[in-house]
Structure 1
Amino acid sequence: MSEMIHTVEYLALAYYMTGEEKYGAEAARFLRGFFLDEKTKMNPHLNYGQSVPGKTEGRGSGLIDTRGFMGLPDVLKLLEKCPAWTTKDRERMREWWAAYGEWMQTSKIGLDEKKATNNHGAAYDVQLAAVLVMAGKEDEARKVLGESLPARLDAHITAEGKQPRELARTKSWSYSCFNLKNICKGGVMSQALGVPFWDHQGPEGRGSLKKAMLFLVPFLKNPGSWPEKQITKFEPKEARYWLNVGAVMYEDEAIRNAQEEFAPMDKADVEDWISTPIRK
């Protein structure tokens, strides 16, 4: 799935930038095969996500594996004028996403993931918002991004910018960056939908995305000073996406300097180019 999404991101961007229909047609072929063709399509549910033989057929945590869906609204937008991506294709895709969104919000597995109090919960909200956008339900997406996601931030991020639930993990740096990446994707969507997001701060100074970034930034230069458990190698590149977003959205010298050193756009991948905002 992740390879399919990455491929259509490249193809859609190539079509948009060059105007050559061959790229759009190939992206459309991939999308039809994965979502629309009766012989090959994915069913609009994850009933068997992260199944454990002999224990469970599927579980809520499986929804984290479809987080790549967060990037597909941009892909579909880039393909809007592509002749190969037809009106019928667009209509059928909206139906698919509507069915998947219904499953996310009503199934036991979907509701279990919604209750998650760590990065899974934030990823659920952002993925749901993306799904609702693709289903043509933008008002519902705005509600998720304007109400549910900020409440997650208040619970996830302390007044000091720490993410306690991620810091408690055995790969605390990795999960802290991963959570910020998903939250930033929600912020980019919020911006596109006209939902205030970037300057959010909850009660007692909690929930500030900017503070969460500033808490992590100093450790990029001095990984050895990271005080929490990290059983895999400390990788500054894991901060790349949120640094690129933060450098654009916040007029903060520390974030901008860190982005220039550790996440230069000349080394960015397609995900950064498609979904990093260009202005506040």
Structure 2
Amino acid sequence: MTPFLLLDPSALASYKTAYQKGSAAEAKQVKTLLSKADQALQHGPYTVTSKQRVPPSGDKHDYISQAPYWWPDPSKPDGKPYLQKDGLVNPETKALKDDENLAAMSHDVKDLALGYYFSSNEQYAAHAAKLLRTWFLDPATRMNPNLNFGQGIPGTNDGRSFGIIESRHLVYIPDALALLSGSKSVSPALVKDLKVWYAQYTQWLTTSKIGQEEGQNKNNHGTFHDVQVVDFALFIGNKDLARKTLETHTLPRLPVQFAADGSQPLELARTRPWNYVSMNLQGWLQLAVLAPQAGVDLWHYTSPRAAA
């Protein structure tokens, strides 16, 4: 049975019991949840191979995206190299759908898994399994386990470490598999194959130049690097990697990212500070939930500076 990582199984079980007993509050929420699962039944399957643009590798199985805040240089005939306008999204980046499809697949699988957990409707599980096989496993449609071409800047590079934040949605998949435990559509073989993909992606994330650079980024990008490595490591059973990442990357980040008054100077300096402050806090919340499973306590951490 796949363990829960970000979700609390005891809280879920209590909520499910209350729902089954007819509690009005829980019934209302589950009705909304099942509506989202019904909508997800109509979506997908998603794949990286459906895009029109071929990545620099020549392989459509490779994920590709373009840096959102970079625009053509009006003084150059071809606009290259592009110039940065922080906070302003270049609409041409929307033509590349891998980012959008990865996020949609992850959230649909989560919604379907929650729907199955509360209803035991095998349709939800079957569609979730189809979405997972199409994105991760089927030879014709699978995504190669790397982000070598994430957030490239035309005229400057084919991919950057900053693209790795786009795969943060993949943390929903392990918990979805836990919710789907018991379904005939989600076999042990499927879970095993998904763990192989996640192990390969984690290997790339922790050993590639781009992956290691993301681990050194100081702001929210560094936070979500850690979220992914810790979550994926726990999913594939590598608790040592999860603990090492928390101790060598995450703990040293706290005094860098948070001032004594709790503010986040690196995020507040951005052109869309509320967006980045709230997003970064979400990452830290996920890390705090994951950390005890690797023997690290973030909830009660005090920086050396504060203790002095």
Q: Is TM > 0.5 for Structure 1 vs Structure 2?
A: yes
Residues of 1 paired with 2:166 and 2:188: CA distance?
A: 29
Large movers: runs of 4+ above 6 Å? none
- The question of 1:54 aligning with 2:160 is answered no
Map 1:65-80; keep pairs closer than 5 Å.
65-80=166-181
Structure 2 partner of 1:113: 214
- Going from structure 1 to structure 2, the CA distance change for 1:154 and 1:105 (only over 3 Å counts) comes to same
For 1:154, give the aligned amino acid.
P
Residues of 2 paired with 1:194 and 1:78: CA distance?
A: 24
- The question of 1:157 aligning with 2:262 is answered no
Contact 1:12 1:27 in 2 (8 A): yes
Residues of 2 paired with 1:191 and 1:74: CA distance?
A: 16
Residues of 1 paired with 2:172 and 2:228: CA distance?
A: 9
Q: Displacement of 1:146 after TM fit?
A: 4.6
- The question of 1:104 aligning with 2:104 is answered no
Contact 1:154 1:201 in 2 (8 A): no
Structure 1 partner of 2:229: 128
Structure 1 residues without counterparts, runs of 5 or longer: 207-280
Residues of 2 paired with 1:77 and 1:154: CA distance?
A: 34
- The question of 1:9 aligning with 2:100 is answered no
2:149 counterpart SS class: coil
Under a length normalisation based on structure 1, what TM-score does the superposition of the two structures give? Answer: 0.70
For 2:169, give the aligned amino acid.
G
Under a length normalisation based on structure 2, what TM-score does the superposition of the two structures give? Answer: 0.64
Contact 2:107 2:172 in 1 (8 A): no
Q: Displacement of 1:81 after TM fit?
A: 2.2
Contact 2:215 2:249 in 1 (8 A): no
Name whichever of 68-77 and 113-122 sits farther off. 68-77
For 2:298, give the aligned amino acid.
F
**Superposed CA offset, 1:230-264 (max 9, x none):** xxxxxxxxxxxxxxxxxxxxxxxxxxxxxxxxxxx
Q: Displacement of 1:11 after TM fit?
A: 0.3
Contact 1:93 1:135 in 2 (8 A): no
Q: Displacement of 1:194 after TM fit?
A: 4.9
2:144 counterpart SS class: coil
Larger fraction in helix: 1
Structure 2 partner of 1:25: 126
Instruction: With a CA cutoff of 8 Å and minimum separation of 6, indicate the structure with the bigger relative contact order.
Output: 2
Residues of 1 paired with 2:290 and 2:282: CA distance?
A: 13
For 1:100, give the aligned amino acid.
Y
Structure 2 partner of 1:252: none
- The question of 1:42 aligning with 2:143 is answered yes
Q: Displacement of 1:192 after TM fit?
A: 4.7
Structure 2 residues without counterparts, runs of 5 or longer: 1-101
**Superposed CA offset, 1:122-157 (max 9, x none):** 110011111212222133223323552122112111
Residues of 2 paired with 1:165 and 1:135: CA distance?
A: 32
Contact 1:156 1:165 in 2 (8 A): yes
Q: Percent identity?
A: 39
Residues of 2 paired with 1:76 and 1:24: CA distance?
A: 9
Contact 1:73 1:133 in 2 (8 A): no
- The question of 1:64 aligning with 2:64 is answered no
Q: Displacement of 1:80 after TM fit?
A: 2.6
Q: Displacement of 1:72 after TM fit?
A: 2.1
For 1:203, give the aligned amino acid.
P
Residues of 1 paired with 2:144 and 2:298: CA distance?
A: 33
For 2:156, give the aligned amino acid.
K
Aligned residues: 206
**Superposed CA offset, 1:161-220 (max 9, x none):** 1111111111112211111111111112224555322111111228xxxxxxxxxxxxxx
Q: Displacement of 1:71 after TM fit?
A: 2.1
For 2:114, give the aligned amino acid.
L
Structure 1 partner of 2:270: 169
Contact 1:113 1:120 in 2 (8 A): yes
For 2:252, give the aligned amino acid.
A
